[in-house]
């Protein structure tokens, strides 16, 4: 009885506050995809209650997955107006391309603006299409929350409610849990701007393909301007590939859902780009295929080649990350930058190559070609800055070193893998470490940046901690020859390649087998 009463009074209080507008501590966004205004998307926002005189309303300059701060979301916004609860406009001035200063903000109740179609301006304004917004009215909408929805500075950690009315006959795909492929109206919410920004949505004429891989529902959404590509064509390539990956990872994956969102355009081949999110990835690819230009015989080979790296991010950073990762600042991303980007990118990339040799999808010889490619790629980058420093400073002075996180990060991960095998008599591995870290942390539990090496040392061996301190945190050259020797191989510093040793010992050969084909 008591409990019922308390609940009732809580409901009454909530009602009172919401009617008086006092308790409004969230953002509510509304879109109607049927009602473009001259090709512009109308965005309606009911703002959270504001206690300051003056606030800044922002669109991001950067988003996770894009290591620069030059996104042109602001200039794509037109006719922004702020209103109070009587529907009277409040002073709102654009003080930077992506920033509006709103005065008398205590009275603020709504903001309305329009977003231009980046597809129309792609040649002039696009910075990175997979994170931008484009509309092919009636046929397709690639919606990226970062370029569509804004936030009040300092109030990013409030819930965001999103309501979208969709055109008849369009299907939706996204990593959003519970979002149905069919429907007329979508409603979902996220606890913060950062979470919202991680979920692009593709609305398209084609029904998405959906299938299970281990415990994960995989969705493939496709828009193809001339209907050259359908989701089944991509499913044919990815379903067997993902099944092998799931086997490699022990038959269970740390994601309920994963979505591949593909936008295939007609005409001249100008872009082939993609971006990775926590449990989805967005791709802008040409319909026409030019084997020379796109470095693959056909779409199928192209899909296979561009790898499952993006998918494997369901481990790191999605389920393995430091506190900085949960603090992304969309205006000044350099503020919180984890020093373990090398791990999020390098270990992910390495696992994909290792999975393929491990599951006998590629022969050993091909695997070592890849290794040598990575060794060659690393050479083009500075060796006097550590991977830790590059990780932390990719938005500032070491932006040009960003790609090395993947190249050197992959080689560092590979050497770690051999070391783990060597120290454990073949039983430990990088894959086990990654799985162990994902189980120990997960989506919302983060470690402190400075703790990771210690945690890994504790979960493995003190020598592994020292390796990380010296060669990842420090600038000591990676002990490539020394470690490859343990698996019967040697590194020729002259031509910067690894080769099988002429006289490898039985132990070395056994360790190589464990390393490449072990559990
Ligand atoms: Zn990546």
Domain spans, the chain: 23-121+148-167+174-191, 323-517
pLDDT at 308: 87
How many A from CA of 310 to the centre of ligand 1?
A: 6
Exposure of 407 by Cβ count < 10 A (0-12 exposed, 13-18 middle, 19+ buried)?
buried
Q: What is the pLDDT of residues 165-224, one digit of tens each?
A: 999 999 999 999 999 999 999 999 999 999 999 999 999 999 999 999 999 999 999 999
How many A from CA of 450 to the centre of ligand 1?
A: 22
Q: Which CATH class is domain 323-517?
A: mainly alpha
pLDDT at 305: 79
Using pLDDT thresholds of 50, 70 and 90, give the confidence band for residue 81.
Answer: very high
How many A from CA of 13 to the centre of ligand 1?
A: 46
How many A from CA of 313 to the centre of ligand 1?
A: 7
How many A from CA of 509 to the centre of ligand 1?
A: 32
Does the bond joining 35 to the residue before it have cis omega, within 30 degrees of 0?
A: no
Q: Please, what is the average pLDDT of the chain?
A: 93
How many A from CA of 280 to the centre of ligand 1?
A: 12
How many A from CA of 130 to the centre of ligand 1?
A: 14
Q: What is the pLDDT of residues 397-446, one digit of tens each?
A: 999 999 999 999 999 999 999 999 999 999 999 999 999 999 999 999 99
How many A from CA of 233 to the centre of ligand 1?
A: 24
How many A from CA of 203 to the centre of ligand 1?
A: 24
How many A from CA of 312 to the centre of ligand 1?
A: 8
pLDDT at 144: 98
How many A from CA of 317 to the centre of ligand 1?
A: 9
Q: What is the pLDDT of residues 97-131, one digit of tens each?
A: 999 999 999 999 999 999 999 999 998 899 999 99
> Count H helices, E strands: the chain?
17, 22
Using pLDDT thresholds of 50, 70 and 90, give the confidence band for residue 18.
Answer: very low
How many A from CA of 95 to the centre of ligand 1?
A: 34
How many A from CA of 304 to the centre of ligand 1?
A: 16
Taking 70 as the threshold, does the pLDDT of residue 16 lie above it?
no
How many A from CA of 276 to the centre of ligand 1?
A: 6
How many A from CA of 407 to the centre of ligand 1?
A: 11
Whether residue 405 contacts residue 387, with contact meaning beta carbons closer than 8 Å, is answered with: yes
Helix then strand then coil, in percent of the chain rounded to 5, is: 40, 25, 40
Q: How many angstroms separate the first and last alpha carbons of the chain? A: 57
How many A from CA of 140 to the centre of ligand 1?
A: 26
Exposure of 226 by Cβ count < 10 A (0-12 exposed, 13-18 middle, 19+ buried)?
exposed
Which CATH number, 1.10.540.10, 2.60.40.3650, 3.40.50.10260, 3.50.50.60, labels domain 23-121+148-167+174-191?
A: 2.60.40.3650
How many A from CA of 347 to the centre of ligand 1?
A: 9
How many A from CA of 63 to the centre of ligand 1?
A: 14
How many A from CA of 433 to the centre of ligand 1?
A: 18
| DSSP string computed for 354-374 | HHHHHTTSS-HHHHHHHHHHH
pLDDT at 4: 38
pLDDT at 307: 72
Q: Please give the sequence-ordered ranges of beta strands (E in DSSP) within 377-501, or none if there are none.
A: 489-492, 497-500
How far apart (Å, rounded) are the C-alpha atoms in residues 142 and 172?
A: 10
How far apart (Å, rounded) are the C-alpha atoms in residues 383 and 88?
A: 59
Same fold? 23-121+148-167+174-191, 323-517: no
How many A from CA of 503 to the centre of ligand 1?
A: 38
How many A from CA of 111 to the centre of ligand 1?
A: 35
How many A from CA of 143 to the centre of ligand 1?
A: 21
How many A from CA of 265 to the centre of ligand 1?
A: 24
Per the confidence metrics, is the pTM higher than 0.85? Answer: yes
How many A from CA of 316 to the centre of ligand 1?
A: 9
Mean pLDDT confidence for 450-466: 97
How many A from CA of 325 to the centre of ligand 1?
A: 14
């Amino acid at each position: 009885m008591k409990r019922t009463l308390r609940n009732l009074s809580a409901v009454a209080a909530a009602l009172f506050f919401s009617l008086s507008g006092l308790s409004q501590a969230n953002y509510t966004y509304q879109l109607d995809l049927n009602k473009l205004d001259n090709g512009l998307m109308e965005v309606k926002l009911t703002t959270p209650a504001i206690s300051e005189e003056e606030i800044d309303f922002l669109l991001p300059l950067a988003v996770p997955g894009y290591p620069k701060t030059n996104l042109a979301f602001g200039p794509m916004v037109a006719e922004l107006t702020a209103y109070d609860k009587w529907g009277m406009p409040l002073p709102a001035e654009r003080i930077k391309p992506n920033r509006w200063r709103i005065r008398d903000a205590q009275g603020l109740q709504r903001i309305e603006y329009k977003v231009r179609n980046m597809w129309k301006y792609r040649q002039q304004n696009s910075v990175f299409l997979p994170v931008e917004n484009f509309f092919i009215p009636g046929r397709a909408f690639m919606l990226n929350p970062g370029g569509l929805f804004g936030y009040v500075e300092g109030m990013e950690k409030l819930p965001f409610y999103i309501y979208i009315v969709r055109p008849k006959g369009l299907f939706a795909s996204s990593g959003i849990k519970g979002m149905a492929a069919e429907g007329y109206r979508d409603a979902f919410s996220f606890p913060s701007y950062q979470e919202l920004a991680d979920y692009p949505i593709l609305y398209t004429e084609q029904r998405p393909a959906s299938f299970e891989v281990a415990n994960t529902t995989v969705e493939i959404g496709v828009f193809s301007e001339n209907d050259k590509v359908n989701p089944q064509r991509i499913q044919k390539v990815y379903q067997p590939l993902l099944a092998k990956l799931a086997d490699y990872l022990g038959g269970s994956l740390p994601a309920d859902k994963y979505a591949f969102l593909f936008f295939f355009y007609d005409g001249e081949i100008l872009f082939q780009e993609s971006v990775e999110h926590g449990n989805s990835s967005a791709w802008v690819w040409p319909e026409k295929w030019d084997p020379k230009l796109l470095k693959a015989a056909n779409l199928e080979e192209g899909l296979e080649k561009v790898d499952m790296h993006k998918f494997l991010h369901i481990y790191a950073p999605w389920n393995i990350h430091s506190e900085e990762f949960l603090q992304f600042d969309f205006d000044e991303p350099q503020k919180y930058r984890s020093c373990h980007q090398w791990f999020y990118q390098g270990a992910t990339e390495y696992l994909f190559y290792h999975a393929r040799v491990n599951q006998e999808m590629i022969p050993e010889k091909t695997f070592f070609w890849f290794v040598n490619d990575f060794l060659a790629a690393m050479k083009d980058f500075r060796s006097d800055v550590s991977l830790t420093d590059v990780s932390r400073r990719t938005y500032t002075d070491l932006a040009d070193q960003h790609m090395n996180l993947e190249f050197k990060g992959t080689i560092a991960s590979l050497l770690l893998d051999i070391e783990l095998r060597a120290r454990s008599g073949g039983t430990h591995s990088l894959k086990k470490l990654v799985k162990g870290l994902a189980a120990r942390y997960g989506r919302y539990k983060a470690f402190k940046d400075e703790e990771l090496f210690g945690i890994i040392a504790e979960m493995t061996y003190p020598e592994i901690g020292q390796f990380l301190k010296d060669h990842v945190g420090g600038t000591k050259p990676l002990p490539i020859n020394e470690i490859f020797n343990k698996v019967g191989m040697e590194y020729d510093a002259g031509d910067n390649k690894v080769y099988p040793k002429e006289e490898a010992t039985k132990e070395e050969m056994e360790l190589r087998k464990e390393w490449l084909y072990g559990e």
